[in-house]
Amino acid sequence: MSAIGIGLIVLVCVFGGSILGMVLHTVLPEQHLSADSKDVIKLGMGLIATMSALVLALLTNSAKGSFDTQRNELTQMSASIILLDRVLAHYGPETKDARDLLKGTVNNMINRMWPAEGSGPQLQPVAAEAFYDKIQALSPQNDVQRQLQAQAVKISVDIGQSRWLLFEQGGRSIPMPFLVLLIFWVTVIFLSFGLFAPRNATVIVTLFLCALSLSGAIYLILELDHPFGGLVQISSAPLRSALSQIDK
C-alpha cells in the first residue's frame, strides 16, 4: 500500500477513535465517567502515550537513518564511477568500448531507480557484467597500464557491490507490526480524548487537526522509508553528474 493510503487510514482510525469516544460518553453510565475513573484512565493513557512516543521516535530514526545511508552510498558510488572513468581514460583509447558500457550501465541504474526520470533507452541487464569482462579482457602493455587495470577492476567491484546494495535496500525497513501497534495505541489515546471532551465544533476541529498532523507525520516517515520515489526522495543528481562526466 502507498504511503498516502496508509496516512489516510491513520487519519480515519485516529479521528474515528475520538468520535467514538464522544459517542461512548453519551451511552456509558455516570459512574464510568466519575472523577476516580477519569484519573485511572488518564494514568493508563499516559503510559500508552509514552510507549507511542518511543515507537514513533524509533520509526522516525529508522526511516531517516535508512534514507541518509542510501543517499551517502549513492553519492560515494557516483564519485567512484567518475574515478573509474578517469582511470580508464588514462589507460588508453582501447578502453573506449568499456567506457561506453559504463555509460550504459549508469544510464540503466538511473532508469531503474527513477523510472519517471528515464534518461535514455534501457540496455540489457547483462551490460554491468559485460563491462567487468571488458576490463578483465584488456591486455596491458606496460607496468602503468597493469596498475591502471588492477585499479579499474577494484573500483568496478566496489561499484557493483554498492549498486546491488542499493537495489536490495529498496524495500521498506519499517516493520509493519510496529506501525500497526502505533496506530492502535494512538487511536486508543484519541478515544480517551473524545470520551471526556466537550462536544462542540472547536473541540472536534482541534481533534481533527491533531489527527491530521499525526497521520502526516507517519506519511513522511513512510516516504523517507521509500527513498527513490514519492514526495521525499533521494536526488538522481549525483548519478546524472557522473553520467555527464563519462567520455569527457
Question: What pLDDT is stored for residue 118 in this prediction?
Answer: 54
Checking if the pLDDT of 124 tops 80, the result is: no
Residue range 150-174: mean pLDDT, rounded: 81
Query: Is residue 101 within 8 Å of residue 131, measured between CB atoms?
Result: yes
More confident site: 229 or 110: 110
**Span 8-61, pLDDT tens digits:** 999 999 999 999 999 988 888 887 878 888 888 889 999 999 999 999 998 888
Is a pLDDT exceeding 60 seen at residue 229? Answer: yes
User: Letter for the amino acid at 41?
Assistant: I
Res. 184: pLDDT tops 70: yes
- Burial class of 164 by CB neighbour count within 10 A (0 to 12, 13 to 18, 19+): exposed
pLDDT given at position 125: 45
* Residue 47: per-residue pLDDT: 92
Query: What pLDDT score was predicted for residue 117?
Result: 67
Identify the H or E element spanning 128: helix 127-136
CB contact burial 177-196 (16+ within 10 A = b; e otherwise): eebeebbebbbbbbbbbbbe
Whether the full predicted model's pTM is greater than 0.85, yes or no, is no
- 105, 148 contact by CB (below 8 A): no
Residue with cell 580508464: 88
Instruction: Please give the tally of structural domains in the chain.
Output: 1
What are 80-118's pLDDT values in tens digits?
Answer: 999 999 999 998 888 888 888 888 888 888 888 887 765
What rounded mean pLDDT belongs to the chain? Answer: 85
Please give the grid coordinates belonging to residue 76.
560515494
User: The domain containing residue 157 runs over which residues?
Assistant: 3-245
Give me the pLDDT at residue 210, please.
Answer: 94
Lowest mean per-residue pLDDT among 73-77, 151-155, 195-199, 208-212: 195-199
Q: What is the mean pLDDT of residues 62-75?
A: 88
Chain centre distance of CA 224 = 4
The contacts of residue 171 (CB under 8 Å, 6+ apart) are none
At residue 140 the predicted structure's pLDDT band, cuts being 50, 70 and 90, is: confident
